[in-house]
Amino acid sequence: MALGYLWLMSQMRSKLLTACARILFCSVVLGLWSSSQTHVLSQPNLDTWKSAFDQRIQLADYVLFQSLIETPPRTMPALKEDVPALDALELSLRPWGLNRALENECMQLLIGNQATRLHQLNELLGLYKPQVDAAWEATALPYSFRWIPSVLSQWNHSAASSGARAGLWSNLKADAENAGLRMDGIVDERGLPQASTQAAIRTLEKFQRRFPNDPHRTLVAYFKGMAYATRWSGEVGYDRDLDEMLALYKVISRLMVNTALEDYSLDWLATSNRWEEPTCEGEWNRAALLTSGQVPADVITQFVPWWAGPTVSCVELEAYAVRMPTKVAVEVPAPAQAHAEELPEVPLSQQVQEANYVPGFTCLLHEVKAGDTLWNISKRYPGTTPEWIAEINEITNYIRIGEVLCIPTIP
């Protein structure tokens, strides 16, 4: 009887283990499938930034610039005699320079091999400098916020991340829509450097009102969203990848203003003056262009970065003043041409509409202790409610010990 009982138990255990193994296997496969189906904005770090930047300098516009302009040999740039003082953002980023090993790693990324990447960053800046400088004249944002494209898009106006972020300033779709940019499946104005810059400034000014005394938190809000920035401790060590990006940002902002680097804005202008308006009859069809080989994919991406759909009319190409390195003739059937002529003209770039902002609120930072609940936390801060704290911090289930919460206060 005992032997029969033992045999029965062993069989049940064997079946249970087999079932568990099957469940585990299915869970792993399901997890891998779901992760491959869901786009997640990856948090950049030094390795991904290096890879993305080295790919940026291989794109058509920069390659053409390099082939047409005689740049001096790569050498270590000298320091300027008059070094500008640290602005508010740079002052707030000083703790990310205390880790000497990390700061040296960031420095080597830029000044290694005769400062090649630093020179390349500066040369790319020349393509966008007139638009960025003009936009900054109308804002009170600290000067060093203008280096955001160095980190997020590597100074690439055609940068995109599955539609979530796009453009020179890696604008989120919602922020671009709020700024009045056109995004209708045919045109995505985040691909226009001037429009992207204006939208970014609008977003940064909104975050600055939200965090009036924390410029580094404003920067993090732009990188990772307002909800993340409100929960962020504001200190080194909270997020390793973010620490790397802030350290890199600190190094870039200083090297770009402390070193004697050439201004290549006029050289980019001379390069673009050799480009021509492409010929077009009726419309462009992306698939046809690529199949025929008349226009390489990277040329389309870099020189018509706002084109978001499968086709675009000649009216749109003319309205957005497209210029390319070579003429491209595209023939289409007469009906398509007639249809294209009926399309209304689109302005070169829609003006960013100013909106009336509701005054933002500031944060009191509260570190969660043992025994804390949203209810008893709200009781410590008159005027708040558990629901408001949960909404601001995007809490959907529970809070964790050590988590830093934003406790909203009306200014």
Domain extent listing, the chain: 46-268, 275-341, 362-409
**Inter-helix orientation angle 240-258/215-224, to 10°:** 120
pLDDT at position 105 is 94
Give the predicted TM-score (pTM) of the model.
Answer: 0.71
Cα gap 348→318, rounded to integer Å: 9
Domain 46-268 listed as CATH 1.20.950.20: no
Residue 237's pLDDT is: 94
- Joined tokens for residue 9: 């138990």
Cβ 222 vs Cβ 203: under 8 Å: yes
Backbone angles phi, psi at 346, to 5 degrees: -110, 130
Burial of 260 (0-12, 13-18, 19+ CB in 10 A): exposed
Amino acid at 309: G
Could you tell me the mean pLDDT of each successive run of 10 residues in the chain, 411 residues long?
Answer: 44 45 34 29 78 94 92 88 90 94 94 94 96 93 96 95 86 94 94 96 96 95 93 94 96 94 94 89 89 81 93 94 73 40 36 32 74 88 82 76 74 44
User: Which CB contacts under 8 angstroms, 24+ apart, belong to 337-342?
Assistant: 337/281, 337/282, 337/283, 339/282, 340/282, 340/283, 340/313, 340/314, 340/315, 341/315
The residues, any chain, with a CB within 8 Å of residue 7's CB and separated by 6 or more, are: none
- Whether 242 and 223 have beta carbons less than 8 Å apart is answered as yes
Phi and psi at residue 364, to the nearest 5°: -100, 125
pLDDT at 344: 41
Residue 34: its pLDDT value, please? 29
pLDDT score for 327: 56
Among residues 199, 196, 48, 65, the alpha carbon closest in space to that of 124 is found at 65
Residue 313's pLDDT is 94
Question: 362-409 sits in which CATH class?
Answer: alpha beta
Same fold? 46-268, 362-409: no
Q: How many whole angstroms separate alpha carbon 338 and alpha carbon 48?
A: 47
Distance in angstroms (rounded) separating the CA atoms of residues 275 and 255: 32
Contact indicator for 253, 307 with CB cutoff of 8 Å: no
Task: Please name the residue that has the structure tokens 């796009």.
Answer: 166
The pLDDT score that the predictor gives to residue 165 is 93
